[in-house]
Chain A
């Protein structure tokens, strides 16, 4: 066991997501398709991940803004379902997500039915973002102290480590799981449970509650 001696501490980072208008908007599928190649990649990030940090409710049916708009703005449920099937964590980078979006929209436009030119009464606004990350200086080294440390981390810090961590990791692993790996098999069941959490079906507050609950259940019994 590595906990004493050679344990690498978990260092908490903070993030701030600043949102910016791109001035690009779309009212139909065709306009959305035309605008996609010219929007910055940070806009793809915002519409898939950034939504977690802005006002939204857990009951949102779809996992990205493109799908939500296809449903509520255009009433095109078929397109919304196709767009919501994109798994952004499985994509190599934001450019790949954009390519998949373009493919889905092209396929929908090829159908040529009225949906391809239907105008929404609510425009889709492409929003860009700047994500700033900084070191809080907070560290935790022991498994025993880890649940409380996560519990007392800010929403943005939790977002950075758990949600955004899955995007940054080539294996799609969150930062908590990556840190827990150094403890070997002992933490394998916990890591498996963390992997099983679907980050798109809950609000950030609910996700944090679930993660903390798992950590407490699995690590508190360690005592000192």
Chain B
């Protein structure tokens, strides 16, 4: 076992690594390609940053390709993203043209990599039309949807569906998100990497130093939300809940977000957040670079309560990160947050700023329960949401695609 695999084994158990290696062995010699639209920023890029090296360490032939696009393309894919999460409206013709054209040019660039691959994972709607440019593809193509599409804008979904129904399989994070498609729809949750800069244990001194450098005094309990400045993450709702709670407990709020290169709307949302926080010395709004993983780690490690008050959420990896650091998390009662937070066990699911405020007060005034929930939180992530488990499920899926159809229970 290599040094990297041993390090994972020390966290997840060597039996789990043995199990992963048994499945990886079945795919030795197969060419696997992942395609998405950004190298950094956002959950997909983070997962691939860990999954691809880990897969290679297991002896697999894996590569990661990123499609390139112009501002019109990313404006279109942001509209697609929002619409699939339910925002009304249609797609402007100019954006559709940019979407199709960008995929066409990227298809030519990627031809040598994906056409003869045994398995191709296409992540999210941005590169979904690529499939249409490879009628002679050799392998199985899987569309991986990371978005909460539980109640999409139907006209936009019909547009996306045209591009994804030809895939051999798709993957959604939750059954609520699955749609009517003519191929198997697998359910696999995302994960975090316990060995990444964002999730390794940091010394207390480094946590304190980071807070000091960011100008955040640790003189009172810190409530933290880390997320892109995106309307569905509801940063304004977080400020509202903070102000309600502050009438009862003396607290500080940190809203920390990075930008993703494929998200053109974040500037507008950030401006609204800064306006709402203006003049309040207890609210700290931080715009961090996309690679500020260690800083985010320190912020999460030093927080007393972590929030993710989303109104729509594909999965919510920041919830997973907070839980991993033994923090009870207050999250919106939506999407993948429902799977991660179990009320009173490792946090609270809420539906309003008022609901979030009462939970903030509860957690800050019940220290031993907060600590108990923190212990539960870490164990829950250890058993369910680490990268080794997600990779095992991906690899099992690939094995299943090449095994003959038949009984639901079968020997490989």
Contact = CB atoms under 8 A, between A and B. Distances in A.
Interface in A116-132: 123, 125, 127-132
Given A55-B380, A154-B15, A133 B409 contact: yes
Contacts of B301: none
A127 B22 contact: no
Interface residues of A, number: 36
Interface string B373-405: 000100010011100000011001101100100
B187 A20 contact: yes
Given A23-B178, A154-B18, A18 B411 contact: no
B184 interface: yes
Nearest to A126: B175
A20 to B, nearest CB: 6
Interface string A123-165: 1010111111110100000000000000011111100000000
B274 interface: no
A19 interface: yes
Scoring B16, B185, B187, B189 by chain A CB atoms within 10 A of each residue's CB, the highest score goes to: B187
B184 to A, nearest CB: 6
Scoring B13, B18, B180 by chain A CB atoms within 10 A of each residue's CB, the highest score goes to: B18
A42 interface: yes
Interface in A1-50: 14, 16, 18-21, 23, 25, 40-42, 45
Contact of A125 (B175, B410, B412): B175
Given A132-B399, A133-B411, A134-B411, A14 B175 contact: no
Given A20-B184, A132-B403, A136-B22, A42 B409 contact: yes
B400 A205 contact: no
A59 interface: yes
A19 B178 CA distance: 12
Contacts of A54: 384
Contact of B180 (A23, A45, A155, A156): A23
Nearest to A128: B408
A57 interface: yes
Scoring B383, B408, B412 by chain A CB atoms within 10 A of each residue's CB, the highest score goes to: B408
A156 B397 CA distance: 15
Contacts of A123: 176
Contact of A132 (B15, B376, B385, B410): B410
Contact of B16 (A18, A127, A136, A154): A154
B298 to A, nearest CB: 27
Contacts of B22: 14, 134, 136
A121 to B, nearest CB: 10
Interface in B132-180: 172, 175-176, 178, 180
B19 interface: yes
B181 to A, nearest CB: 9
B108 to A, nearest CB: 34
Contacts of A205: 383
B349 to A, nearest CB: 12
A25 B178 CA distance: 11
B255 to A, nearest CB: 28
A41 B185 contact: no
Interface in B1-37: 13-16, 18-19, 22-23, 26
Interface of A: 14, 16, 18-21, 23, 25, 40-42, 45, 54-55, 57, 59, 123, 125, 127-134, 136, 152-157, 203-205
Q: Which 10 A-B pairs have the closest CB atoms?
A: A21-B178, A154-B19, A16-B396, A42-B408, A125-B175, A55-B384, A21-B185, A19-B187, A134-B412, A131-B409
13 contacts: A14-B22, A19-B188, A21-B175, A23-B180, A45-B409, A55-B380, A55-B383, A127-B175, A132-B410, A133-B412, A136-B22, A153-B15, A203-B383
Given A136-B19, A152-B14, 5 more contacts: A20-B186, A23-B178, A125-B176, A133-B411, A136-B22
